[in-house]
Amino acid sequence: MRSHTVTRMLAAAVATGLLLGVTPAYAFSDITDKGQAAIIQSLQDKGLIQGVTADKFAPNAKLTNAQAVQLIVDAIGLDAAKKKTDAPGWFVSVPQTAWYVPALKTALERGVTIDGTWNANANPTRQQFAKLLYLGLLQKGNYAKVSKYTPIADAKQIASKNRVAVEYLLLTKIATLDGKKNFRPTNAITRMEAAQMIYAAERMVNKSYASSGTATVTYKVENVDPEFNKVTLTRTNLPGNGYGLKIRRVDFVSDSEAVVIYEAIDPKPGSANIVYPATAVVYVPVVYDVTVKAQ
């Protein structure tokens, strides 16, 4: 999934203090919040982030455009497109040997639009990062569309071209508002803020839940009409005939959360030739954020 070698990544990280790369597992002394520490640990274990030193993550430091593109491409798992989009005119001025070029080319080829003259070392705002992340997610699947709008106190500061992206990330809980209902769209996004969004986005793209034994179930949410999302569950590691999947129920645990409960079906003795569906579908109103859980 990664487009360059670990050696190059580590070399670039030493030279520029990048957020991105593969590092050994360790705790950062400048992150004291348990929730943030858990997020950083998860992303670090997957080789998506690293600190600026062995002991410091610099959570409040600003992200760069180069780091943003690399992080999104790696976390979402974008790869080269079969039908490539032409590169914008400004791409010819980008040093072709730069560490971030493979990820930048992949993003552009997959249709992730980057407006204007791109500066690798400039700092994207929160709304600009939201737009890039939103476009990246669209390349991976037909996720739920924006069907309702969130009251945002500083909505007037969000550029019209970025509004749908911000609303989408809020709807899917990839992004959140602060205590005063502000998104702070014109603020430069920090390393911790980017990590939090990427953590949620990566989970949405790569969701899988294990039931008893070795059964693994993945799911995706697709918007099918203004009222309902289609939730498709797939059992991905069928060991043979007679193994399948059933949806038992949907629990509406709050006004905005729904949990789809499933059961992995294994063959009974002497019935291995019975075929059970490996996928199951349920429809959930669009107002609910969907998660999936084994019975």
Q: pLDDT per residue over 152-199, tens digit each?
A: 999 999 999 999 999 999 988 899 999 999 999 999 999 999 999 998
- On whether the CB atoms of residues 173 and 199 are closer than 8 A, the answer is no
From CA 295, how far away is CA 212, in angstroms rounded? 9
Q: How would you list the strands of the sheet with 228-235, edge to edge?
A: 208-210, 216-223, 228-235, 279-285
Distances (CA, A) of 286 to 150, 172, 194, 209, 289: 14, 11, 26, 22, 8
Q: What is the pLDDT of residues 71-114, one digit of tens each?
A: 999 988 888 766 677 888 888 889 999 999 999 999 998 888 88
Torsion angle, alpha carbons of 66, 67, 73, 77, to 10: 160
pLDDT of residue 24: 39
The confidence score (pLDDT) of residue 76 equals 86
Residue 95 burial (CB < 10 Å; 0-12/13-18/19+)?
exposed
SS3 category, 110: coil
Instruction: Render pLDDT for 266-277 as a digit per residue (tens, 0 to 9).
Output: 777 665 555 666
CA atoms of 159 and 178, how far apart (whole Å): 19
Grade residue 61 by pLDDT with cuts at 50, 70 and 90.
very high
The predicted structure's pLDDT at residue 8: 42
Report residue 249 as tokens. Answer: 């129920």
Mean pLDDT of 16-31: 55
Does pTM top 0.85 for this prediction?
no
C-alpha dist (Å) from residue 139 to 33, 91, 168, 183, 224 = 33, 21, 14, 24, 18
Helix axis angle for 126-138 and 191-205, nearest 10°, is 20
pLDDT value for 95: 93
3 state SS of 240: coil
Q: What is the pLDDT of residue 52?
A: 87
Q: Picking from 41-55, 82-96, 208-222, 271-285, which range would have the lowest pLDDT averaged per residue?
A: 208-222
- Which has the higher per-residue pLDDT, 252 or 139? 252
